[in-house]
């Protein structure tokens, strides 16, 4: 399986922030128009304990709509929580969206972590070990559902018996699998199943480098060519055209979050800056081998951010 190594930028949408579908649709069309390659949705049930009036759309429902309202934009989950849907059903959902989109799905998946959501919805929240056990079995089932005529699998947590499925995904042999995580066991799963890795936790360059070193070790153990796994970076970007605009934006965000300007600056999960500063922040990741960025922008400031990144940052990263 072969994928592009050109540096690409996608927009990350957090439905839990309160988006309506029309907002996401319009952002997807804009991102497609200005040269972003992809749109990614997180998979959450709500933002926090006080979000009863805040929208939180299902990502696969959103991507189904975008599949017929966009033409070239790749559509991904960052990442689907394996606990929220039976893996055999998730395989069917993703294959259907891949078919509807003409083969534009990127399948991001992770073991799950946000216990508040599990508890609220009555979903069992097992130990981290068991969640990764289930993750491994799910990856086995999903890849078999996508590639085998009559797939079978008998695991501890999931089973299928001649679970034939049509349509299969359009992409051959299947949509790119992006495993989300950073711990050694998850990196081992990435080396076995994935075409891409997303290092979780908004890592700074030092932590990202450490994780990639561990991925090399995992690949050596499984006999996987490290260079065949695409690397991605999910990060926050608060961008304005000049320093005065950056300072004003940062002050606005700090006020909205109820923190001081200095607290925001020191704790922001990503970069706050001008196009030059954003490029300077992202460049070391490119040098490290990152091919795909997923950028999350301050909520309701996405339009101007997408336009500015497309015009002033993406060409410099590719230059």
Domains identified in the chain, total number? 1
pLDDT of residue 5: 64
281 within a domain of the structure (yes/no): yes
Q: Tens of pLDDT along 156-207?
A: 999 999 999 999 999 999 999 999 999 999 999 999 999 999 998 899 999 9
- Stretch (H or E) spanning 71: none
pLDDT class of 3 with cuts at 50, 70, 90? very low
Checking if the pLDDT of 4 tops 70, the result is no
Residue 147 has pLDDT above 60, yes or no: yes
Q: At 192, which CATH number?
A: 3.20.20.30
- Round the average pLDDT of the chain to a whole number and report it: 96
Q: Tell the burial category of 59 from Cβ atoms under 10 Å away from its Cβ (0-12, 13-18, 19+).
A: buried
Residue 173, preceding bond cis, omega within 30 degrees? yes
Helix-, strand-, coil-residue percentages of the chain, each rounded to 5: 50, 15, 35
The reply to whether 211 falls in a domain is yes
* pTM of the predicted protein model: 0.96
What DSSP character marks residue 55? -
d(CA 275, CA 280): 8
Residue 253 resides in a domain: no
Pair 106, 40: CB distance under 8 Å: yes
Name the band, by pLDDT with cuts 50, 70 and 90, for residue 270: very high
Write the CB contacts of 156 (distance below 8 Å, at least 6 apart in sequence): 133, 137
Peptide bond before residue 261 is cis, with ω within 30 degrees of 0: no
What's the pLDDT score for residue 37?
98
Residue span of the structural domain in which 133 resides: 8-238+274-318
88 within domain boundaries: yes
CA distances from 24 to 15, 37, 91 (A): 9, 15, 24
Strand duo 270-273 + 159-160: pairing: unpaired
Q: Are 305 and 297 in contact (CB under 8 A)?
A: yes
Cis peptide before 295 (omega within 30 of 0): no
The answer to the question of residue 96 being in a domain is: yes
Q: What per-residue confidence (pLDDT) applies to 254? A: 96
pLDDT score recorded for residue 2: 38
CB 262 within 8 A of CB 203: no
Of the candidates 157, 196, 175, which has an alpha carbon nearest to the alpha carbon of residue 74? 175
Answer whether 54's CB lies under 8 Å from 16's CB: yes
DSSP secondary structure code for residue 171 in this structure: S
In a domain, 3, yes or no: no
18-68: per-residue pLDDT in tens? 999 999 999 999 999 999 999 999 999 999 999 999 999 999 999 999 999
Model confidence at 146: pLDDT above 50: yes
Q: Within a domain: residue 1? A: no
Q: What is the distance between the alpha carbons of residues 9 and 282, in angstroms, rounded to a whole number?
A: 11
Torsion of CA 37, 15, 76, 104, to 10 degrees: -70
Distance of CA 16 to the CA centre of its chain: 14
CA pair distance 63, 224, nearest whole angstrom: 31
Task: State yes or no: pLDDT of 85 exceeds 70.
Answer: yes
Residue 265, domain member (yes or no):
no
Instruction: Write the pLDDT tens digit of every residue in 216-254.
Output: 999 999 999 999 999 999 999 999 999 999 999 999 999
List the beta strands (DSSP E) in 111-221: 153-154, 159-160, 177-180, 196-198
Distance CA 212, CA 210 (A): 5
pLDDT at 6: 87
Strand, coil or helix: 135: helix
């Amino acid at each position: 399986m072969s994928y592009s190594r050109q540096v690409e930028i996608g927009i990350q949408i957090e439905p839990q922030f309160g988006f309506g579908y029309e907002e996401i649709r319009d952002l997807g069309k804009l991102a497609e128009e200005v040269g972003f390659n992809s749109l990614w949705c997180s998979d959450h049930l709500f933002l926090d304990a006080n979000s009863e009036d805040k929208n939180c759309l299902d990502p696969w429902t959103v991507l189904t709509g975008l599949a017929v309202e966009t033409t070239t934009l790749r559509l991904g989950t960052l990442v689907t929580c394996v606990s929220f849907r039976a893996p055999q059903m998730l395989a069917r959902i993703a294959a259907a969206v891949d078919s509807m989109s003409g083969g534009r799905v990127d399948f991001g998946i992770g073991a799950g972590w946000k216990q508040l959501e599990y508890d609220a919805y009555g979903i069992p929240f097992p130990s981290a070990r068991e969640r990764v056990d289930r993750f491994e079995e799910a990856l086995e089932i999903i890849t078999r559902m996508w590639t085998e005529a009559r797939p079978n699998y008998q695991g501890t947590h999931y089973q299928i018996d001649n679970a034939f499925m049509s349509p299969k995904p359009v992409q051959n042999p299947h949509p790119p699998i992006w495993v989300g995580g950073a711990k050694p066991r998850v990196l081992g799963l990435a080396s076995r199943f994935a075409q891409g890795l997303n290092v979780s936790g908004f890592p700074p360059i030092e932590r990202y480098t450490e994780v990639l070193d561990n991925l090399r070790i995992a690949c050596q153990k499984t006999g996987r060519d490290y260079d065949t796994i695409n690397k991605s970076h999910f990060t926050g970007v608060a961008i304005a055209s000049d320093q005065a605009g950056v300072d004003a934006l940062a002050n606005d965000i700090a006020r909205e979050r109820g923190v001081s300007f200095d607290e925001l600056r020191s704790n922001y999960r990503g970069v706050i800056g001008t196009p030059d500063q954003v490029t300077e922040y992202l460049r070391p990741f490119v040098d490290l081998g990152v091919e795909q960025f997923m950028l999350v922008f301050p909520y309701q400031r996405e339009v101007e951010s997408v336009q500015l990144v497309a015009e002033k940052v993406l060409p410099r990263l590719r230059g």
